[in-house]
Structure 1
Amino acid sequence: MELSPKLYHWFVRPKWFIRLYNNTLKSLLKDFDFKNKKILDFGCGIGSSSSLFDSNYYLGLDCDSKRINYAKYLYPNYNFSTIKKGKLPLASQSIDYILIIAVLHHISTPEIKDYLLDFHRILKHNGKIIIIEPCIINKYYFSNWFMTNMNKGKYIRNENDYLSLFNKDFYDVNTIKKFKKCFFYNEIFFTATKK
């Protein structure tokens, strides 16, 4: 059963959780310069991370129009749009950063490869994709079991599988950190810089 965006906001992403998680995100993103940089939040959902960025330079995209409409309600000063037919409605070389938080584990490898070609098209030279995803890590048996059985994402991958998605001819990939989220989730934080 899929929760409506409003119920999702109340039960899965309540305000206190968004504040806590955004503080974690601020800490993780502190070394990036977002001032006057165009940000694409790919798979933004209800826009929980939008408030970390200047509304004049932020665009949140998601394939779920109900979540996009709710994001517009929650964050009226920010720009949100629905992805239609898997194509990103953006000009070539128009984006400095693409933020992908807990999205790739919901998307099959062939679909991701299509998006990566579009990301490469819209990123400016040396633009970065910043990725934070649940990650299977050897010997973390309980966390791995919990994530694969309790998360709706069908494609939780290990570090090598995530990194190999990004074609070495198009991106330089760098793992920044692996960490725990909410005790049960292994997370990987990495970047892919356009060549």
Structure 2
Amino acid sequence: MVNIQQYKQMLEQPWGKIQYEITFAQLAHLKNKKILDFGSGLGLVSQFLGENNEVVAIEPEKEMLFAYPNHTYKKILGSLEQVEKFEAESFDIVLCHNVLEYIEENNRENYLSELKRVLKQDGKLSIIKHNQVGKIMQAVVFSNDVDQALELLKGNEFRSVSFNSGTTYTIDKLLEMSKMKLVKYQAIRTFYSLQMNEVKTKDNWLKKMTEMELAVCDLYPYKDISFLQHVWLMKE
């Protein structure tokens, strides 16, 4: 089960806010689109995009879906069975952020196939995924937990502070499962996951670190070592 209160408290901290600042910046170009946010969580991304787009959010956890009184987008309680109700090619953009890690590996292809089905031709799928390399770096540098890093290196499950256990997957594996074209991928959390939290409460930290993260998010090797990767796929 998701620990919603713990998750909401984390989002109030500078190290919780910055991830969404980076994500919003990478999505800000989307205007006048019909968007499906699958696994929308607390709806922060849906709320942001709903200001300039028509957004439908699907979330299986009722407490998360209705955690905030957002009104800029439509909320649907459920999971893949709700996606199946939409006609093919219903959306310009589909978001699937921090979701596939928590789905059984042998079922991920089914989810991707259905998300692809509801995309319009030339529509884009936005996936935010955990990156094994970045997670290992954080385990060693930030958490000082070599045992955890070694388990991650073996490809074993990781456990999130607020969510259930999950497993990482590569971009190559994502392309194989989705049968879609890679447009680009971007870094999220290249540096700030490696800093101790004490420095993150200092004046101007959030602004300056967000600037730094965005400065490298499209550059090698930074996007190959980031904690999260934002992958854009296109339906052909």
TM-score interval w.r.t. the shorter chain? Answer: 0.7 to 0.9
Q: CA deviation at 1:136?
A: 0.8
Aligned to 1:40: 36
The yes-or-no answer on 1:29 pairing with 2:38 is: no
1:74 aligned counterpart, secondary structure? coil
Structure 1 runs, 4 residues or longer, greater than 3 Å off: 15-19, 84-87, 138-150
Task: Give the number of equivalent residue pairs.
Answer: 186
Percent identity over the alignment is 19
Cα 1:117/1:159, change in 2 over 3 Å? closer
User: Which of 54, 58, 62 is the equivalent residue of 2:59?
Assistant: 62
Is 1:82 equivalent to 2:77 in the alignment? Answer: yes
Q: Distance in 2 between matches of 1:85 and 1:48?
A: 20
Alignment of 1:9-158 (within 5 A): 9-14=7-12, 19-30=17-28, 32=29, 34-55=30-51, 57-70=54-67, 73-84=68-79, 86-88=81-83, 89-137=85-133, 140-143=136-139, 145=148, 148-151=157-160, 152-158=164-170
**CA–CA distance in structure 2, aligned partners of residues 18 and 177 of structure 1:** 19
Structure 2: unaligned runs, 5 residues or longer = 141-147, 195-225
CA RMSD, Structure 1 to Structure 2 (Å)? 2.9
Matched, 1:187 2:228: yes
Which structure would you say has the larger RCO, counting Cα contacts within 8 Å and 6 or more residues apart?
2
More helix by share: 2
Give the counterpart of 2:177 among 165, 174, 178: 165
Residue 177 of structure 1 is aligned with which of 186, 207, 217?
A: 186
Q: Is the 8 A contact 1:137 1:186 kept in 2?
A: yes
The alignment's TM-score, normalised by the length of structure 1, stands at 0.78
| Structure 1 CA distance for aligned equivalents of residues 135 and 72 of structure 2 | 44
Structure with bigger gyration radius: 2
Say if 2:116 and 2:125, in contact at 8 Å, map to a contact too: no
The runs of 5 or more residues in structure 1 that have no matched partner are: none
Shift of 1:100: 1.6
Counterpart-to-counterpart distance in 1, 2:17 and 2:41: 16
What is the TM-score normalised by the length of structure 2? 0.66
